[in-house]
Every structure is written in structure tokens, then in C-alpha cells.
Amino acid sequence: MLTELGDPARLAAGYADRPLHLIGPGLYLDYIRLVVAILVIVVPATAGATGFLGILRGESAGSVIAGTLGTAVTTAVHIVFWTTLLFAVIERTASLRTVPARQWTPDALPQPPSRRARHGTVIAESVVAVLFTTFVLLSPVVSTQTDAAGDPVGILSPWLWETGVVYVFLGLALAGLGVTVAKSYLRWSVPVAVAAVLLSVAGTTLLIWIAAGDRLLNPAFTDAAGWNSDVAYWTNAGLIIAAVLTVVHAVVETAAGFAARSWVTPSWKSMIHTIVDGVSLRTSRR
């Protein structure tokens, strides 16, 4: 008889309705989806902000990279830990587990973009990428200003070519174009969304570093053109603002992609209301 009942601890947990798992199958999918959504949105944003502040403080490249990676790892650990703790509490609270889940229907599937819209996006970004790459590569030899020997003076700083930074930046731009093609013609997936955000953060961080260090414009060109120092200042400031807006757009677009695919369901609203009502009731009793 005792053998048929099995492990006493497992039997007692069954009578007490106490789960023996951290997160059960009823909440596991929501748990994974929420964790992935928060990681994709929050980690790149916090890491990019840390790198940006390090660049503004004039830290070395090694310190900026180490600080950025450290922030990313710390943020990811906190997100996973606290989200797991929240779901573990919900799993063990009967009043929270009684919230009815939303019934899935085919209407929850995302609407695929039209073929014309996909083609238009890819063509537009391809044209911009080709024009931008052509301008950058030809800028040292095609210029409106010349030196005393008659040689062209490039508008971009020679430091970009001496250090190879320009090739890294162009590589990131072309990789971003590849991600755009993947998002337009392949099935939406988490790796594609993560790659898009990471490339955007990497490219904008590099651009901010160049602009904040006043390494973009060639001083010889600005002198030959008769530009004052305000031109370089406002050019760098405009690029920094544009870079920040680009990162914000990438994060918002990624968040919209998760929301459009029902990764965060409306059932969370009722669950949050249940939590708030329960806390209010206990407070009033006290």
C-alpha cells in the first residue's frame, strides 16, 4: 500500500496543491516570451547608454567595452532572476493562477507585410547604402577644396582611414542592410530581431564616439572652405542626436514586433489588476 502511494513528500504536495516545479506548463510559455521580450529591449538600451556615457567621459576603448559588457550581463541577470521570481510566486498563489488565459484564435497571427511594401523598404535602404558608401569611399579623392599642390582635400578626417574605423562603420551599415533584407523576406524570428538591435546599437555607438571626439570632419577641409568652429560643433551634435534617435527607433520597432506577434498577451492586464486588488485588500485588513 505504501509503495503504491509513492514518495510521501510528493504525495503531501499533491494534497496541499503545492507545485513541485518552479514554473509549470501553464505559465512557462508566457514566462519565456516575457523574458525574451524584456531582454531584447532592455539589455541593448542599457548597454548602449553605458557605452555612450563612457565615451562622453573620455574613457579608453577597453574601459568602454568592459563597462558596456558588464552592464549588459548584469542587466540580463537581474531581468531573468526577478522575472523568474515573479512567475514562481504566481505559480504558488492560487488566486493569481485562476486568471483565465486568453483563448488563442487565428486572428492573433500577425498580418504579413505586403510585397510592395517589402520591396520598397529594401530598395530605399539599398539606394541609401550605395550612395552613402560611394560618398565615403570617394571623399578623399573627390572634393571641392584643394591644397597648395592642387591635390583634393577630403571632407572626412584622414584619421578614419588611418585607424580603419571607416571600414568597420561601412561593414556595420552593410550588415544592417542584410538584416533588413532578412526581416523583409524571411520569417520573423528572435535572432533576426536581436541582430537588428545589436547592429543598430553598435553602429550608433561608433558614430557617437567619432562625433564626440571631433574626429569626423577634416580640419584642413574646414580651414580651406572657410568654415568656423561652429560648423563642426553643430555637425557633431546633429549626428549624436540622430544616432540616439536611431537607437530609440530600433528598440521601439523591436518592441512593436514582439507585441504584434502576441508575445505579451492582454491577459497580463487582468493578472496585474488581481495582484493590485489582493495587495489593497490585505492592506485594508491590517
Supply the DSSP symbol for 139: T
SS3 6: coil
pLDDT of 77 higher than 80: yes
97 or 251: which leads in pLDDT: 251
- Residues in contact with 204: Cβ distance below 8 Å, sequence separation at least 6, in sequence order: 48, 243, 244, 246, 247
Question: What is the average per-residue pLDDT within 26-45?
Answer: 80
DSSP state of 107: G
- Rounded-to-integer distance, Cα 265 and Cα 229, Å: 52
Provide the residue ranges of all domains of the chain, joining segments of one domain with +. 2-98, 114-260
Q: What is the pLDDT of residue 267?
A: 46
The SS3 assignment for 21 reads: coil
Query: Mean per-residue pLDDT for 44-73?
Result: 78
Is 268's pLDDT higher than 50? no
Helices (H), 115-189: 115-138, 159-163, 165-185
The pLDDT value recorded for residue 33 is 79
The 8-class DSSP code of residue 111 comes to P
pLDDT at 66 over 80: yes
Q: How confident is the model at residue 62 (pLDDT cuts 50, 70, 90)?
A: confident
Q: How far is CA 70 from the centre of its chain?
A: 16
Long-range contacts, 178-182 (Cβ 8 Å, 24+): 180/121, 180/122, 180/125, 181/122
Please give the average per-residue pLDDT across 54-63, as a whole number.
73
Query: Which three three-digit cell numbers place residue 105?
Result: 484564435
- Residue 48: pLDDT band (50, 70, 90) is confident
| 84-128 pLDDT, tens digit each | 998 888 877 766 555 555 565 666 555 555 555 566 777 787 888
CA atoms of 31 and 99, how far apart (whole Å): 15
Q: Does 266 score more than 50 pLDDT?
A: no
Residue count of the chain: 286
93 backbone φψ class: left, alpha, beta (φ>0; ψ -120 to 50): beta
Residue with cell 572626412: 156
What is the predicted pLDDT for the residue at 262?
Answer: 46
Name, of 165-174, 224-233, 255-264, the range with top average pLDDT: 165-174
Query: Which secondary structure element, helix H or strand E, spans residue 45, and what is its range?
Result: helix 25-56
HSE-CB at 116 with a 13 A cutoff on CA atoms is 0
Q: Is 193 exposed, middle or buried (0-12, 13-18, 19+ CB in 10 A)?
A: buried
How far is Cα 165 from Cα 177, in angstroms, rounded to an integer? Answer: 19
> Which residues are paired to 262 by β-bridges?
none
Please report how many Cα atoms fall inside a 13 Å half-sphere around the Cα of residue 119, on the Cβ side: 3
Q: What are the cell numbers at 14?
A: 499533491
